[in-house]
Amino acid sequence: ISVYKIATLWETDRQGTYIFIFFAVISVAMFVFRRNYRKRFEKRKRDNQQ
């Protein structure tokens, strides 16, 4: 959603798009962070079951 807002508002309201750029970066970072932690905990759970 943030990427769409960035694309549509870039020409008209460049100052307002910076907050959406920030949200897009935070969203991607949260996705990667959560994915890595989920994989780490799944690996730990598998190792403990064996």
pLDDT attached to residue 43: 93
Paired tokens of 19: 């907050």
Residue 27 lies in domain? 2-49
- pLDDT tens profile 1-40: 778 888 888 888 888 888 888 989 999 999 999 999 999 9
pLDDT attached to residue 7: 87
- Global pTM reads 0.69
d(CA 48, CA 42): 10
What's the number of domains the chain is made of? 1
pLDDT attached to residue 9: 86
